[in-house]
Amino acid sequence: MTIDTDKKTIRAIHQKKIIVIDKLASLLNSSIKTARRRLKLWQAITSYNMNGRYYTLPGIPDFDSHGLWHYRQVRFSQHGNLKNTIIALVNQSRAGLDAAEASDLLGISVRSFLSSRQKHADLKREKIQGRFVYFCAAQKDYIKQKQLRDAMAKTIELPSDIEAIAILVETIKSPHLSIDQLALKLQKNNYRISSERIENLFSYHDLSIKKMPDLTF
């Protein structure tokens, strides 16, 4: 393997934007082990989705304000792997992040990832209005984030826990109903729940009327 081969390979990666290890080894005319050593030498960045199969080189990604970049469906982070990226995003956030908010930022679902890490030294987790919110572990930052999250929660009028259960039950029984129709049916059952509050419930849990809310996050 020569310096010219390395230069040609680096140019090829810049043209392609991203690359998998098999293709890199082919370009280098080397073994997979040697190709991995080259990635380390070049300080390559590993994708946080697609099972970490894709790589890019420093200078190629145009990272956004969150330190994230994607090419087609492949996603990369300045912060490193998915765990480190989530911690960084939570720490940077003004009011912590729940699973839906983190997923929106990252472009992938992180619900199962977060649920498997209920305790983490770098994060605090609290249940607020039926979903888990992740905050910075540093006490000073946590207090600021929690205060703002509490203020945000107060501005959203949600059904009570009993009302939310009634909404879920009725939604499962009659998934074809619109929000207005659902409100009317609940009112006939002596639940005075406005369409707006029902809509807030589904919106807060990032769900459609036809999808049962996941209240574990």
Supply the pLDDT for residue 116. Answer: 78
pLDDT of res. 146: 95
Residue showing tokens 């409100």? 183
Residue 26 Cα distances to 3, 5, 82, 100, angstroms = 16, 11, 28, 40
Q: Which two tokens stand for residue 76?
A: 């990369």
Q: What confidence score (pLDDT) does residue 212 get? A: 44
Q: What is the pLDDT of residues 149-208, one digit of tens each?
A: 988 877 667 778 888 888 989 888 888 888 888 888 888 888 888 887 888 788 766 665
Nearest Cα to 26, choosing from 13, 17, 42? 13
Say what the pLDDT of residue 217 is.
41
Kindly state the tokens that stand for 94.
């003004």
Q: Which of 96, 95, 23 is nearest to 53 (CA)?
A: 23
Low-confidence ranges of the chain (pLDDT < 70): 1-2, 118, 155-156, 204-217
Number of neighbouring beta carbons within 10 Å of residue 107:
13
| The pLDDT of residue 178 | 87
CA dihedral of 62, 67, 71, 76, whole degrees rounded to 10: 130
CB 130 within 8 Å of CB 164: yes
Do 102 and 108 meet the contact criterion of CB atoms below 8 Å apart?
Answer: no
